[in-house]
Structures are given as structure tokens and as C-alpha cells.
Amino acid sequence: MSKLFWIIFLLLMLYTILPTILIRLFGLWMYKKKKSGSGIALTFDDGPDPEFTPILLDLLQKYQIKATFFVLGSKAEKYPQLIKRIHQEGHLIGIHNYVHWANAFMTPNKVRRQLDSSVNVIENIIGIKPIYYRPPWGIINLFDLLLLKQFRLVLWSIMVGDWRSKGGKERIETQLLAKLKNNDVIVLHDSGQTFGADKNAPKYMLAALDDFLEICQHRGYHFLRIDTYMQLNNLAKQGPAPLLKRLIIYLWLKWEHLFHRLFNIHPIDVNNQIFYSRVRKYHGKTIHLANGEVISPGDKVVELHFNNEKLSQLIAESNTMVQLAVNMIRDVQRFLPKMTQYLHRHTEVKGIYGITMIHRGSKQLGFTVEELPKGLFNYFTLIYLRILLFVLHPNGRQRIDLKKGLLSPRIVAISVLELKRRYSAEPELLTISEPVSHYQRQ
């Protein structure tokens, strides 16, 4: 194939294919389904339509359901009375571009003009500026990520091909019921005038929807507007930064999985994977341990690595830094007896060794903590660990800025003899008041 083909393919990958894959597979930057709670978001695209939208509104009124309409600006401009009715009956209005064109085939400026025109049309009709946006076919381009400052981008978790007439209402109803779960976002279409749609398809969608909503009513399902739906899961307050950070964390953890494979690093305790490890020769400076032993260059050691996926999970589950510290210390305490069992199979190992910035409370657990010697290794380790803190910690940037003098890597080590003396029989959990006070001061 020619170089021109590969250049075009690469540009398409960067411009639209890769961003779309990321949002569709991993839910990055877009809202597609709640993780918890209850409630279903019923959403409709491609309208308003003078034939089908009034019937749909009557149906929603029959079941006392509030829905979300992602409308085309050109149709809203043509049928302002329908937009008024949608709004007056308590439904939410979002944007689905001015005309039904995929963002992949438009320049960033063209997408922006489409959205600005649609926003102006809706705002002039109902007096409210819409902030929810669903790109046609769920396809975005790279520059659409800049829209996150202005819009909440919304996808779906259930689509049943209701833009086709084939199979009638039975096919649509069957697929809706088969796929339905609490927390879903359903997308249906109240117009058959877009490219690839059958003009009479909404007739079958409405017939299926009537039966579907009656069944859902008997089953006790609740339907919510997309704004209420997102607020119940604290999603509406998430701007671009949290979503972008999710992508960074995802890519970082994938890199770490690859790193572990390349260097044969494995968890010791499969039930408490707070640490990964490998046995290797120690190559650093001599470490003088608190119990009088030393770890010298050439000694066999177990090199510990924090499981940053587990750390990220602990951060997400902890409401405060104090709670995070308590949870981490308890996990480490549960891990150490397993480490002693592991060392019975590795009699050649003299000590356990790691480098970390998370070392508060280590001395109370029996570890020796020393500064990392100055030099290139110290410099690059510091950069790596600060990037890691920025990625995983919810206030990583602020902590780095405020605590630069304190956030420096330390060697943390303990001898096998000391570890076995302390943890051969699983002890009661140690007091955590002292380590926690360190975290409170950070």
C-alpha cells in the first residue's frame, strides 16, 4: 500500500477512531451508565418530528415518565412548538448537532458551529441553554474533548436498532426487555428521517415502547431525566479533569502490567495484592538495619513494589486521607505474615527492600527507613514517584506543590530474621494511632 494510504489511516486513527474507541469501550469522557443506585434514563434522538414526537409525549404523559430528548437544531428551529411542549411537560432537552452529521467528517470549527447554532436555537425557544450533548452515532473527533468545558457528553448502554422497521414492534420490545437492567441509559429514535433510518420505524418503536413501559411499571422500575440520573451517581459534577485523569490512570496501570510481565514481578498474597515482588541481588549502598544487621551489595533480597491498581482502589474507596492511611496500614499488616510464609521457600533471601514516598508508619511496623543516596537514580526515582502521586492521588498536584520538601523517595527495608520474629505468628493488628498522625500532618 502507498505511503499516502498509511498517512491518511494514521490521521484518521488520531482524529476520530482512537478517541471513539476510548469512549465506547472504556466510557472515558462520556456518561453511558451509572455504576450503582437505581433508575433508568430513557433518551430519544433525531427529533423533534411533527408526526411521531407528539405521540411519544402523550405516551410518556400516560406513564408519568420524564425523559431526555437529544434534538437536532435544524428541526428545533423548524418546530419550535414541539420544543416548547417537550420542555413544558418536564422533559430535558439536549443537543444532537444541528444536522445529523458525524463529527468524524467535520472539522473542529464545523462541529463548534453546529453546536453553537443548536444551543442558540434551543435557548431562544425555552430560555435555557442546553448543556447535554450526544454526538450522532456516538462518534467523536479528538478536538471534541475540548467541548467538555461546555457540555456533558452522553452515550447509552442499550440500543435496539429501532431505526429499522424489520421485525416490527416485537423485535424492539423483546430486545429492550432482554437487555434491561437498573442503571441503564436507553436510546430510541422519534424520527425516521435521518440517513440509514426507515421513515415509518418510529411507529413500531412507539408501539413497542407502550408495552415495554407497562411491563416496567409492573416491575417497579423508575425512569429519570439524564441530569437527575447523573446527579444520583455524582456524575454531573465531574468536569473534564476527573475523566481525563481516569484515562491517565488506565494507561498508567496498563503500562505497569506490562512492566510486571517483562521483569517477572508477581503478587505474593493473591488474596491481598497490596504488593508485588521479585527476588533479586541487591545493588545499592549498604543498608544498616535497626536491629544491627546489614543488607550489602550482592545479597539476595525480595524487592517490593506497591500494587498501584490496589492503591488507586483504596484511594477511590476512602473518604479522607486518614481513612486511606488506616486502610493501607491494615492491609500491610495483613500482608506481612504471608511474606514470612513466602520466605520459607526462599532461604537464600536476607532482607526485604523497596523504594517509596509512602513510608509514614513503616518504622512502627519494624522497617528501617533511609534516604536514597543523591545521584541520577535518586533524581529519576523522584520524578517517577511524583508523577505516580499526581496520577493516583485525587489532590496530587496540590500535595506535590505544598510538600515538595517532604515528598522524597526513601529506602524501606527489613531483615528476614526481624520479619520472622515479628510476624511468623499472625499478630493482632498493631495500634494505628501513631502512623495515622503522620498522615494527618501531611
User: How many CA atoms are closer than 13 Å to the CA of 80, on its beta-carbon side?
Assistant: 10
Q: How far is CA 295 from each of CA 34, 48, 67, 353, 410, rounded to the nearest angstrom?
A: 50, 74, 66, 9, 15
Report helix angle 308-317 to 240-262, nearest 10. Answer: 150
> Which residue from 96, 78, 150, 87 is spatially nearest to 123, judged by alpha carbons?
87
User: Which residues fall within 8 angstroms of residue 77, CB to CB, at 6 or more apart?
Assistant: 121
Catalytic residues: 45, 189
User: Which residues fall within 8 angstroms of residue 386, CB to CB, at 6 or more apart?
Assistant: 357, 400, 407
Contact (Cβ atoms closer than 8 angstroms) between residue 273 and residue 310:
yes
Length, in residues, of the chain:
442
**Quick count: other Cβ atoms within 10 Å of Cβ 268?**
18
C-alpha cell at 363: 518504622
- Rounded to an integer, what distance in angstroms lies between the CA atom of residue 258 and that of residue 231? 36
Name residue 355's beta-bridge partners. 411
